[in-house]
């Protein structure tokens, strides 16, 4: 039982981290960024390349270089996200919202198969592996590395939340989410703020990518697709656009999958998770923490 919960929370932490970027971008410009999962993939490969380049420099220490690589990767994927927004999304900001869906899917293909061209289709294996010293925590088998990863994820999420709720920058983001025209009138540089939101969201996805690479070991060019889908789901469960809600949504999805596997077996897991999700949404149509918006008067 406690093992099930731990499995779910651990997977859920990854979902949350990726979902946050989804949710932020969605909250601010109402864009389903289908390429977001591919930024996770990009992060994993960027980390892979850096670790490979660093090679023997760090010697036998693993955690410190990983943290350095993590930060560098976050910067790199953040910039990639900004570039993506600049090229594929910003020019279309006045167009019908679904037009952005096309460029998002286009960007997703371009990123995936661009990486396919660069790195090939064969999965790559991370040079640094977080092996496991297992602890027994309330009957669940937990490794120290898992704990560290979850702590990093939680720390990143808290930082983000503080940034969005407490800082000027965050206020600007929320203002744009509410009303971009009014925000502009109040002297907010909308484009710059949106760029920064993309930077933050993409950096988090990149961080999740490196962490997944270092923990699971295997990365490939399509690794972002499924998790992108799950992150979208998690963001919606939580109440899309709502940051604490998204974190909860990710964890909840992880738990649903863990228990679904246990009760119904692996092949019915996603049916269970989606089924519960649909039932849940019919009861609570705005997600866990989403506000009830009056839709138009």
Partner 1 sequence: MSAPGTGGASGLDRVSGFARGLFDSRWPGPVLLLAALLGPFVNATPYALNLMTTTAISVMLAVGLNIVVGYCGLLDLGYAAFFAVGAYTSGVLATRFDWPLLATVPVVLVATVIAGIVIGGPTLRLRSDYLAIVTLGFGEIIRITANNLDVTGGPSGIHGIPGLFGGEDKVVFYYATVVIVALAVIGAARLGRSRIGRAWRFVREDEDAAAAMGVSPYRVKLAAYIAGAVWGGLAGVLFGAHLSAVSPGSFRFLDSALILMAVVLGGMGSNPGVVLGAIVLAVLPEALRDLVDWQYFVFGVLLILVMLVRPQGLWPARSRETPQDAARAVRPEVRA
Partner 2 sequence: MSEFPASANPANANPVNRSPVTGPGRRPRRLLPLAALTVAAGLALSGCGQGLLDKGGKAEDKSSPIVLGMLVPRSGGEAAIGPYMTNAAQLAVDEINAKGGVLGRKLELRPEDDACDPKTATAAANKLVSSGVHVSVGGYCSGATLPTLPVFGKANVPMIIPAANSQELVDQRQKHVFLINGTGTQQTDAAVAFMTKKGAKNVAVMHDNTSYSKDIAVQTGKDLAEPGGPEQAILEAVTAKESDYGANVTNVMAKKPDFIYWTGYFQEGGLLIRQFRQAGYKGPIMVADGSVSPKLIEIAGKADAEGVYATMTQTPDTLQGADAWKTAYKSKFGSDPGPYSNQSYDAVRLAAEAIGKAGGTDGAKVIAALEAIDGFQMFSGPLKFTPEHTLTKGGFQILSVKGGAFALEDALA
Q: Which lies closer to partner 2 via its Cβ, residue 83 or residue 284?
A: 284
Q: Which lies closer to partner 2 via its Cβ, residue 137 or residue 159?
A: 137
Cβ-count burial of 208 within 10 angstroms (0-12 exposed, 13-18 middle, 19+ buried)?
Answer: buried
CB of 275 to partner 1, least distance (A): 7
193, two tokens: 């703020």
- Footprint of partner 1 (CB under 8 A): 26, 32, 34, 87-88, 91-96, 98-103, 105-114, 116-117, 191, 229, 232-233, 236, 240, 267-268, 270-271, 274-275, 277-278, 281-282, 285-287, 293, 295-297
Site for partner 2 in 156-175 (CB under 8 A): none
Q: Which lies closer to partner 2 via its Cβ, residue 191 or residue 270?
A: 270
Q: What is the DSSP string of 164-233?
A: HHHSHHHHHHHHHHH-HHHHHHTT--HHHHHHHHHHHHHHHHHHHHHHHHHHH-EE-TTHHHHHHHHHHH
Dist CA 234 CA 245 (whole Å):
9
Partner from partner 1, partner 2, none contacting 168, C-beta within 5 to 8 A by type = none
Partner from partner 2, partner 1, none contacting 114, C-beta within 5 to 8 A by type = partner 1
177 binds partner 2 (CB under 8 A): yes
Q: Which stretch binds partner 2 (CB under 8 A): 52-60, 84-92, 96-104, 279-287?
A: 96-104
Partner from partner 2, partner 1, none contacting 220, C-beta within 5 to 8 A by type = partner 2
24, two tokens: 């932020």
Site for partner 2 in 11-30 (CB under 8 A): 11, 14, 30
Cβ-count burial of 69 within 10 angstroms (0-12 exposed, 13-18 middle, 19+ buried)?
Answer: buried
Count CA atoms within 13 Å of residue 163 on its CB side. Answer: 16
8, 20, 23, 185 from 253: Cα distances, Å: 8, 14, 15, 39
Binding site for partner 2 (CB under 8 A): 3-4, 7-8, 10-11, 14, 30, 96-98, 113, 116, 120-123, 125, 129, 131-132, 134, 141, 143, 177-179, 212, 216-218, 220-223, 225-226, 257-258, 261-262, 265-267, 269-270, 293, 295-296
């Amino acid at each position: 039982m406690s093992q099930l919960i731990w499995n779910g929370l651990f997977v859920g932490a990854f979902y949350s981290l990726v979902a946050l970027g989804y949710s932020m971008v969605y909250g601010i410009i109402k864009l389903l960024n289908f390429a977001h999962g591919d930024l996770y993939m990009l992060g994993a490969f960027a980390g892979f390349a850096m670790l490979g380049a660093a090679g023997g420099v760090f010697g036998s220490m693993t955690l410190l270089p990983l943290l350095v690589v993590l930060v560098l990767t976050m910067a790199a994927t953040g910039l990639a996200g900004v570039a993506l927004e600049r090229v594929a999304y910003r020019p279309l900001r006045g167009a019908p919202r679904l037009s952005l869906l096309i460029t998002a899917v286009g960007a997703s293909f371009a990123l995936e198969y661009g990486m396919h061209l660069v790195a090939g289709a064969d999965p790559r294996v991370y040079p640094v592996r977080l092996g496991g010293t297992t602890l027994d925590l309330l009957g669940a088998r937990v490794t120290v590395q898992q704990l560290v990863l979850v702590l990093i994820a939680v720390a990143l999420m808290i930082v983000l939340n503080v940034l969005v709720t407490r800082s000027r920058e965050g206020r600007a983001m929320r203002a744009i989410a509410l009303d971009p025209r009014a925000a502009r009138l109040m002297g907010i540089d909308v484009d710059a703020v949106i760029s920064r939101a993309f930077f933050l969201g993409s950096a988090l996805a990149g961080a999740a990518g490196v962490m997944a690479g270092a923990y699971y070991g295997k990365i490939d060019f399509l690794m972002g697709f499924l998790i992108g889908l799950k992150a979208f789901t998690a963001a919606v469960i939580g109440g899309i656009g709502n940051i604490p809600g998204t974190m909860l949504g990710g964890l909840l999805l992880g738990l649903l999958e863990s228990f679904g596997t246990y009760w119904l077996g692996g092949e019915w897991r996603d049916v269970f998770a989606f089924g519960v999700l649909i039932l849940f949404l019919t009861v609570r149509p705005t997600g866990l923490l989403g506000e009830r918006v009056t839709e138009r008067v």
